[in-house]
Structure 1
Amino acid sequence: MSGVVGNLSPKQASALEQFREQVSDLLPQLPAQSDHFLLRWLRARNFNLQKSEAMLRKHMDFRKQLYVDKIITEWRPPEVLEKYLSGAMCGYDREGSPVWYDIIGPMDPKGLFLSAAKQDFIKSKIRDCEILQKECDLQSQRLGKNIESITMVFDVEGLGLKHIWKPAIDTFSEILQMFEENYPERLKRLFVIKAPKLFPAAYNLVKHFLCENTQQKIFILGANWQEVLQQYIAPEDLPAIYGGKLTDPDGDPRCRTLLHFVATVPKSYYVRDQVQLNYEQTEMVNRGSSLQMEYEILAPGCILRWQFASEGADIGFGVFLKSNKGQWQKASQMTEVVHSQRYNSHLVPEEASLTCQQPGVYVLRFDNTYSLLKSKRIQFTVDVLLPGQLQSPKAGGSIQSESVNGLGRDEPRNQIVVDQTASAQMA
């Protein structure tokens, strides 16, 4: 049996009923509560109830940490990504599913990564996934049948060495992993067209991030690619440049009002050429190690604000809340407040803030445990703002107590803790 509504074996139907009961506490928070939605998580884990539940619960944490429910209405990608990042929806396949096109060749990965933070790339793709999910829901209403997956077309003509630049490949790999873990069974099929000789090498760099089921949905087409696309996409929905009849109102076969044919990013967008920051502290995070900055917050509503840059390579960063004051703790022993992830801060300086909802010792943790060969030099400034405070005192070795909590404590407010435990022993 296929494991979809209307085609379930007795065992699968029983698993669905049990799965709904096991995640009943999550149901009010889920993007959807239908059997169609729940079955996607079951199919993604071959109807293993324990693994499916763990996957769905992890997805809900993902949605909370990245404010996914508001990403369409309250977040907009930086201008450079809107103008120069490939990817757009255009029409529907013959079964009514949205079709998404990525036009890779003209894209300028290095220019993009020198102009926007890696996290903005990832959020932009999450936003695309959410938009496509809503479009599937709308199509389901229009057609009176369940539409839950998309067809993708990857035009890789012009793929070159610039596209397999390491920061770009690393970020694309993270996006693939994010898609696999949080949007299961959303891909119906993916067509790769006009693949050059370099494509197999590029595909092998990211292939291992895709599960076997996803790999089976990828079709690398040959010279007859137009004929194959027309089998799955009706001519009136297929852009003329790809063998169909769809054009812009002015007759442009590229459908530029719908598709995004990108170009080289102007250097005026490069962040490091525009931002000159004077950081207050510099530290070395050794290979296989982490560095922790501790800030005691005694009143709710205080704001932690940070800026940092690394030299030569990326660095992991996250914010945690300690349960035991005065005692060093592993990341796994603390509460993660700001999701720990790797930042391309050697390309684009990172700046963000956190409103502390509860008192406690907050730990800003620079993570280099994943790098067993390379130490990282980081520069950073941390500000602590009182509720309603307009001017921000600087955090550092000489920070004054009243600038952090306003309660007249005399001891220093931040403490650097360097852990040189090998990454195999780290959480």
Structure 2
Amino acid sequence: MVQQYQSPVRVYKHPFALVMLAYERRFPTCPQIPVFVGCDVTLDEESQDGSIRTTERKCKLNVEAPYILKKIIGVDYVYFIQKNILDRRNSKLEIEAWNESFATRVSVIEKCRYFVHPENPEWTCFEQTASLDIKNFFGFENSMEKLAMKQYAQNIAKGKEIIEYFINELKKEGVTHVAPWVDPEKAQSPVDEKTMEKDETTKDVKSESATTKLPSINKIQQLSSDYIERYLGKLDLMQESRLVQLRQSMQELRGSSVPNDSTLLRFLRGREFIVEKAKDMLTQSLHWRKKYQIDKLLDEYEAPQVVKDYFPGGWHHSDKDGRPLYILRLGQMDVKGLLKSIGEDELLLLALHICEEGLLLMEEATTLLGHPVSQWCLLIDLEGLNMRHLWRPGIKALLRIIEIVEANYPETMGRVLIIRAPRCFPILWTLISTFIHENTRNKFIFYCGTDYQEQVEGGLTDYIDPEYIPDFLGGPSETNLTENGTVPKNLYKIDFENPTSDNGHSLYNSISLSHGQVHHVAINTNDVGAVLTWDFDVMRHNVIFTVLHEKNTDNIDTEKATTSEVSINDFDGKETLLKEWKEGVNCVKVEPSVVCHDGESIQGTHIVQEPGTYVLQWKNPDEGEFLPSISAHKAQLMYFHEVLPSAHYRGSMMSLQSAVSSKSFASSSLSR
């Protein structure tokens, strides 16, 4: 496998001639690089006018390898040939080095270049590329590759420091300036003012021509090592190299229309610094942004009034690392109401607008704080979360948002703080976590249990300054988030009454119940730990809802739950051949009865504790039973139910329900 490295541009704030003198001080030995034992000059010649100097050296390097490996390869030293071509006229030094030892087994090629900064003639730039190809090395290819890259990385890291060291040594000796090379012929020829003026004009043209061949100031700034550390953060050798390679690859593909370096770095991190994968991901994202005009979102997006009035989220200061902090009170969010009033596409647009705001705030934070801020922090309050948030269209919309955000905003999430997670949260987490990239999942921190205030004092303040703890969590900082709660039904515009599944059948069932009539949904299961879920809307009248259990394991499929449905007329005394379930007779109640009023939307869940038949029961009550009958009209309702297999929850179902510690991490307790 060929390992390749391409450095960012390193800038020495010293003139070229002075840097060259310091560079010569590195030879014949360099104490700062212990593996560089010494060198012999095998060629040193200059052109007739002295403008070109060519030097070749045979360099001796110590093999820093385990003793056993040294014994196997039979050498303590390896030799490299280094060829330098110094072009004094154009102030440029080009270096090429390759290995002489083991040349048939290993190929190492390094190319370096020193040149004058295109916009500041008093500065000098340095860049380098290298490739390592270990073809056959006594069966130690992987070991040698790791050793070679490790040693190379150490030497690269010291390279700039060494030049600075020798420049300082020269200054101690009183050498602060080295006169640039002058063409001997021009130095000896008398010139008049017109000739000088002509030469100056020619010089300007040549300078302009030379500049066009060198990286522009914009490129120098964006790819300099100082720029990377200041605006992007500390990167290791290969990460710097991959960033340079991706930028050059994107420039070849898109010309000047290349995203900024922080964006390139995010996509590289999102694909483990594999350049080709990052390039493919970024290219697809750029097509997506163009197709849907995402770049105009910040200027043109106007949140619907329903969002302004009922969406419980907003930006709130920053965390302790300077990351912009976004707060979402998901437990207070009326998912169904928002979807029915603005639709899935508008909710996605809202999420994308938040992401775009996050990018802008990160850029502002980087400028303000003087260090790179490339991610934002998300705090999600789950107080009030229940099964109504697992409404099927709502989950579908959430998964769509996650998929699009993961594909187009990789590595923008620095930390996700999940606050006041209730018992039903593992169900939601299991449904959505598989759609979240592992890098992002590992950034989730969960706070749960009953003594929440204690957790705030010992937990949240690890990540958020006490002065910025939100007021709804007992802190002093006002958030001004909406607390209006449920979206009024008169604002509904989208009809989710009859969504259809992939097979074209109705996802929701509609039934009518006469006065005193009961409807049962019987679910046979032997899957202990499975989760029964239900979601229904009472469209007319009042009903009583109950969940029952009959302990009967005969003929139950151990892999799947089987369902049957029946309506029973209790009020007219008619006999029925269909089975009837009655509390205290042949079954027990496992969830409290709920009186559901006209217009209510009910969601819920039950974890299977024992095998048998579980019954979802709706009843249009008799007069005087729980509540008076308001009329003789039939009750109408629309319902959906599902059994989620226990296999989806092993290792995660009880982790939050039984939590006693202040926090747990998704990577350790919820993702097994």
Residue pair 1:140, 1:147 contacting (<8 A) in 2 also: yes
Residue pair 1:193, 1:225 contacting (<8 A) in 2 also: no
> Does 2:324 align with 1:103?
no
SS of the residue 2:415 aligns to? strand
Quick one: structure 1 residues 91 and 63, their matched pair in 2 at CA, closer, same or farther if it must change by over 3 Å? same
* Code of the aligned partner of 1:237: Y
Stretch of structure 1 that moved more, 263-272 or 201-210: 263-272
Residue of structure 1 equivalent to 2:403 = 177
Q: 2:472 aligns with which of 238, 241, 254?
A: 241
> Does 2:485 align with 1:260?
no
* Code of the aligned partner of 2:426: P
> Does 2:238 align with 1:8?
no
SS of the residue 1:264 aligns to? coil
What is the root-mean-square deviation in Å for CA atoms of aligned residues? Answer: 2.6
Matches within 5 A, 1:38-187: 38-187=264-413
> Does 2:455 align with 1:228?
no
Quick one: structure 1 residues 29 and 263, their matched pair in 2 at CA, closer, same or farther if it must change by over 3 Å? farther
Per-residue CA distance 1:275-331 (angstroms, 9 max, x = gap) = xxxxxxxxxx99689xxxxxxxxxxxxxxxxxxxxx9579xxxxxxxxxxxxxxxxx
SS of the residue 1:194 aligns to? strand
Residue pair 1:151, 1:189 contacting (<8 A) in 2 also: yes
Residue of structure 2 equivalent to 1:215 = 441
Give, in whole Å, the separation in 2 of the partners of 1:184 and 1:146: 17
> Does 2:247 align with 1:20?
yes
Per-residue CA distance 1:84-125 (angstroms, 9 max, x = gap) = 123211111112111111101221111111111211110110
Residue 52 of structure 1 deviates from its aligned partner by: 0.3
Quick one: structure 1 residues 235 and 124, their matched pair in 2 at CA, closer, same or farther if it must change by over 3 Å? same
SS of the residue 2:342 aligns to? coil
Residue 8 of structure 1 deviates from its aligned partner by: 2.7
Q: Give the structure with the higher percent strand.
A: 2
Give, in whole Å, the separation in 2 of the partners of 1:313 and 1:23: 46
Residue of structure 1 equivalent to 2:492 = 270
Residue of structure 1 equivalent to 2:29 = none
Quick one: structure 1 residues 6 and 269, their matched pair in 2 at CA, closer, same or farther if it must change by over 3 Å? closer
Q: 5+ residue gaps in structure 2? A: 1-152, 154-227, 509-672
Residue pair 2:342, 2:494 contacting (<8 A) in 1 also: no
Residue 191 of structure 1 deviates from its aligned partner by: 0.8
Residue pair 1:230, 1:244 contacting (<8 A) in 2 also: no
Residue 18 of structure 1 deviates from its aligned partner by: 1.1
Quick one: structure 1 residues 27 and 264, their matched pair in 2 at CA, closer, same or farther if it must change by over 3 Å? farther
Matches within 5 A, 1:265-304: 265-271=487-493
* Code of the aligned partner of 1:241: F
Give, in whole Å, the separation in 1 of the partners of 2:437 and 2:277: 15
Residue 29 of structure 1 deviates from its aligned partner by: 3.9
* Code of the aligned partner of 1:115: S
Residue 261 of structure 1 deviates from its aligned partner by: 2.8
SS of the residue 2:434 aligns to? helix
Residue of structure 1 equivalent to 2:222 = none
Residue pair 2:310, 2:485 contacting (<8 A) in 1 also: yes
Residue pair 1:107, 1:262 contacting (<8 A) in 2 also: no
Give, in whole Å, the separation in 1 of the partners of 2:425 and 2:370: 39
How much identity, in percent, do the aligned residues show? 30
Give, in whole Å, the separation in 2 of the partners of 1:229 and 1:201: 24
SS of the residue 1:115 aligns to? helix
Residue of structure 2 equivalent to 1:387 = none
SS of the residue 2:316 aligns to? strand
Give, in whole Å, the separation in 2 of the partners of 1:287 and 1:132: 36
Q: 5+ residue gaps in structure 1? A: 248-254, 274-284, 290-310, 315-427
Give, in whole Å, the separation in 2 of the partners of 1:130 and 1:117: 20
Quick one: structure 1 residues 46 and 265, their matched pair in 2 at CA, closer, same or farther if it must change by over 3 Å? same
Give, in whole Å, the separation in 2 of the partners of 1:139 and 1:79: 29
* Code of the aligned partner of 2:245: Q
Per-residue CA distance 1:137-173 (angstroms, 9 max, x = gap) = 1111111111111111110011111100011001111
SS of the residue 1:17 aligns to? helix
Per-residue CA distance 1:342-399 (angstroms, 9 max, x = gap) = xxxxxxxxxxxxxxxxxxxxxxxxxxxxxxxxxxxxxxxxxxxxxxxxxxxxxxxxxx
Quick one: structure 1 residues 172 and 286, their matched pair in 2 at CA, closer, same or farther if it must change by over 3 Å? closer
Higher relative contact order (CA 8 A, sep 6+): 1
Give, in whole Å, the separation in 2 of the partners of 1:214 and 1:270: 34
Greater radius of gyration (CA): 2
Residue 6 of structure 1 deviates from its aligned partner by: 4.9
Stretch of structure 1 that moved more, 264-273 or 110-119: 264-273
SS of the residue 2:378 aligns to? strand
Give, in whole Å, the separation in 1 of the partners of 2:473 and 2:440: 24
Residue 244 of structure 1 deviates from its aligned partner by: 2.9
* Code of the aligned partner of 1:51: K
Matches within 5 A, 1:312-391: none
Give, in whole Å, the separation in 2 of the partners of 1:240 and 1:79: 25
Residue pair 2:343, 2:494 contacting (<8 A) in 1 also: no
Residue pair 1:149, 1:185 contacting (<8 A) in 2 also: yes
Give, in whole Å, the separation in 1 of the partners of 2:287 and 2:301: 19
Give, in whole Å, the separation in 2 of the partners of 1:220 and 1:272: 34
> Does 2:417 align with 1:191?
yes
Residue 40 of structure 1 deviates from its aligned partner by: 1.2
* Code of the aligned partner of 1:98: P
Quick one: structure 1 residues 60 and 272, their matched pair in 2 at CA, closer, same or farther if it must change by over 3 Å? closer
Quick one: structure 1 residues 101 and 286, their matched pair in 2 at CA, closer, same or farther if it must change by over 3 Å? closer
Give, in whole Å, the separation in 1 of the partners of 2:426 and 2:367: 39
Q: Return the TM-score normalized by structure 2.
A: 0.38
SS of the residue 2:421 aligns to? coil
Quick one: structure 1 residues 100 and 27, their matched pair in 2 at CA, closer, same or farther if it must change by over 3 Å? farther
Give, in whole Å, the separation in 2 of the partners of 1:97 and 1:286: 41
Give, in whole Å, the separation in 2 of the partners of 1:214 and 1:13: 22
